[in-house]
Chains A and B, each alone.
Chain A
Amino acid sequence: MNDLGAPGEAFSDDLILAGVGRFLDELDPPPGDLVQRVQFALALEDLDVEVARWERLDNLAGVRGGGTGTITFTVSDLTVMINLTKMGKLHRIDGWLVPAGQYGVEVRVAEHGTSSTTADEGGRFVLDNVPRGTTQILVHLGDVSCRRTVVTPTVVL
């Protein structure tokens, strides 16, 4: 390609690794509030939980901080769909659990405490006037003999 010698040759191992090091620190560091958000997600009374995954079937990037949209999250045998409607500084959360069941649902928002409700027979639930911010959703499944809690990672809504 280049008769003057390959320009890549000038890059020693050390030079490359130093460059990658600056890449990690300057271009791709963890977000500044990530540690706090993990710590918020972990501030649960009982850490015997199953962790659900946020699915991004519709563009969650448009939901984050944007106020309106649908989010789905799943764990082995449960799917939770959530529709957000922005109402000023608050939002309304319409949710649907599949398979349906009268399960307890909690929404924790950092610095704002917890809102909770119970889904109806059809698996639907509504939470009004939920503050916006760093949010985590918990679903309590099963009965007293076999209680399970599913939690989501926190997300800024």
Chain B
Amino acid sequence: MTDVQTTEVDPPWEGLTGAELHAACMQAARDGDRRAMARLVEELTPLVWHVARANGLDRSVAEDVVQTVWLALFSQLGKLRDPKALAAWLITTTRREATHPFGRRMQPVPLSDEVAEAMPSTQPAPEDEAVRADRDRRVWRAFVRLPHRCQELLRLTVLAGRAEYQLVAEVLRIPRGSIGPTRGRCLDQMRDLLASEGGSR
């Protein structure tokens, strides 16, 4: 019975969120706690994934890169002293892996083709929803035509706006609720693409 209680004791990061959660998990992971590693992976895999995808990798290559990044992190965790640097480290390492000249020689499927395939066709729906679905499809078509750096910035902007990715906001140094100049240019570029598409479809 004592054993059961010992194994079910709440981990030190229980109840923590954001930067505090990551700091507690990194500390425990450095001491070899596998549950802490698992928790970090669960928490931050979407971030690594979206950076990989924004940098033009097809889905299967992105999957490999996500794993490579995590393996690289835990094989050298001791070197990353500052937990606050974790998100920045993940983003930078993913970007570097994504553009690594090795093993990326096969032409990836252009994202726009994948999206075209996955794009849900217009279904009979309440009018509001149909309008939104149509608007989304136009936004998505424009989005995949943006340069990679804009795609990455906009993906990260969206993630940073979500509570669990507050640390991304810190990496991007986005003052709460503001749109920086680079982001503004990317959004304008989106509007240009949307305009040139003409809304005829």
Contact = CB atoms under 8 A, between A and B. Distances in A.
B88 interface: no
A77 interface: no
A23 B45 contact: no
Interface in B65-92: 66-68, 70-72, 74-75
Contacts of B53: 28
Interface string A44-79: 000111110111110111001000000001100000
Contact of B139 (A16, A39, A151, A153): A16
A42 B37 contact: yes
Interface residues of B, number: 55
A43 B192 CA distance: 47
B29 to A, nearest CB: 10
Contacts of A21: 158, 161
A38 B105 CA distance: 24
Residue among B119, B140, B179 with max Cβ neighbours from chain A (10 Å): B140
A38 B191 contact: no
A57 B66 contact: no
A56 B61 contact: yes
A8 B71 contact: no
A101 B129 CA distance: 62
Contact of A51 (B46, B75, B136): B75
A24 interface: yes
Interface in A99-157: 151, 153-155
A73 B193 CA distance: 39
B interface secondary structure, majority: helix
A28 B50 CA distance: 8
B136 A43 contact: no
A19 B191 contact: no
Interface in A19-39: 19-24, 27-31, 34-35, 37-39
A80 to B, nearest CB: 12
Given A23-B139, A35-B45, A43 B34 contact: yes
B38 interface: yes
A29 B66 CA distance: 13
Contacts of A13: 179, 187
29 contacts: A6-B195, A8-B194, A11-B190, A13-B187, A15-B139, A17-B157, A17-B187, A20-B155, A20-B158, A22-B136, A28-B50, A28-B115, A29-B46, A34-B45, A35-B45, A37-B67, A41-B67, A41-B71, A42-B37, A42-B41, A49-B75, A53-B103, A56-B61, A56-B105, A59-B106, A64-B60, A74-B102, A151-B71, A153-B68
Nearest 4 pairs between A and B by C-beta? A8-B195, A19-B139, A153-B67, A8-B194
Given A28-B115, A60-B106, 19 more contacts: A8-B194, A9-B195, A11-B194, A13-B187, A15-B135, A17-B161, A21-B161, A23-B139, A23-B143, A30-B46, A37-B67, A39-B37, A41-B71, A51-B68, A51-B72, A53-B102, A53-B103, A74-B102, A154-B67
